[in-house]
Amino acid sequence: MENNKVLDAFNKASTDYDKYRKQAIPHMDIYYNTVIKLTENYENPKILDLGAGTGILTQLLYKQHPQSNITLLDLSTDMLKVAKTKFNNKKFKYITADYLEYDFTENYDIIVSSLSIHHLTDEEKKTLYAKIYETLNPQGIFINADQVRGSTEHTEKIYKNQDETHLSKQNIPEEEKQTLRNRRKLDKPATLHDTIKWYEEIGYKNVDIYYKYYRYFVIAGEK
Ligand SMILES: C[S@@+](CC[C@H](N)C(=O)[O-])C[C@H]1O[C@@H](n2cnc3c(N)ncnc32)[C@H](O)[C@@H]1O
């Protein structure tokens, strides 16, 4: 099962995952901070981080909303184990689960996700986006920092070249570069056009793109 490959890849990556993120993701600070800025007008929001991994985005959310209840959900126990070492906070909840299968029993003001949902097929993405909509409180927001596929074969080729050009220039061990290349084989990003269309069909309001650099983008929609 493809899911098992994703789980296996992130369980294996967990220990050294944080070490090379800044090199692996172009302009990572502005990319992640775009998500945080979109949450600024919420006061003590209840937050859910889907595919939270080692909690890199969660940490920025916590800094912005230190009084908030934050739930981290991830398929990989090992990734969450690393996250737990960062937060000594009783208000945090950790859920090891597949977000497609998990039955959410609570609602949230802000649901975020970073670099996770592109591991799903397009049908699964649509199902998850609808599930997230149902899990949001009224006026809640879903902010997703993820990757898209090029809108044509030609532009996808440009994205792929950019991925490789960026990675090859980074000062990180060759073995790590290979691990990242192998993990990319598990990616199934959708086009930006389809993603926006699905959000609007589901009923999200004020759907917009707040950041885009080659395949990296931040999209948000409100309930
Ligand atoms: C590239 S990491 C991103 C982690 C973190 N959000 C970040 O920005 O560093 C992707 C994470 O998504 C998780 N993931 C992938 N598919 C998932 C699923 N179906 N359900 C829950 N988590 C999933 C993986 O286990 C992994 O920890």
- Could you tell me the CA-to-CA distances from 98 to 3, 32, 48, 186, 201 in Å, in that order? 9, 23, 14, 16, 24
Residue 97: what pLDDT? 97
Report which ligand 1 atom has the smallest distance to the Cα of 57.
8
Residue 39: what pLDDT? 98
Query: In the predicted model, what is the mean pLDDT of the chain?
Result: 95
Out of 14-18, 26-30, 191-195, which region has the weakest mean confidence (pLDDT)?
Answer: 14-18
Closest C-alpha among 211, 208, 189, 210 to residue 199: 208
The residue contributing the CA closest to ligand 1 atom 8 is 114
When pLDDT is averaged across residues 104-125 and rounded to a whole number, the result is 97
CB 5 within 8 A of CB 186: yes
Q: Strand, coil or helix: what is 29?
A: helix
Residue 146: what pLDDT? 98
* pLDDT tens-digit readout, 177-199: 999 999 999 999 999 999 999 99
Report which ligand 1 atom has the smallest distance to the Cα of 102.
20
- Per-residue pLDDT band at 2 (split at 50, 70, 90): low
For domain 2-222, the CATH class is alpha beta
CA atoms of 100 and 50, how far apart (whole Å)? 10
**Residue from 98, 119, 120 whose mutation best tests the ligand 1 pocket (most atoms within 8 A of CB):** 119
- Domain ranges within the chain, ordered by starting residue: 2-222
Q: Ligand 1: residues within 6 Å at CB?
A: 6, 10, 51-53, 56-57, 74-76, 79, 98-100, 114-116, 119
- Per-residue pLDDT band at 130 (split at 50, 70, 90): very high
When pLDDT is averaged across residues 100-126 and rounded to a whole number, the result is 97
Question: Computed over its alpha carbons, how large is the radius of gyration of the chain?
Answer: 17
Q: Give all strands of the β-sheet with 216-222 in edge-to-edge order.
A: 92-96, 70-74, 47-50, 108-114, 136-147, 216-222, 205-213
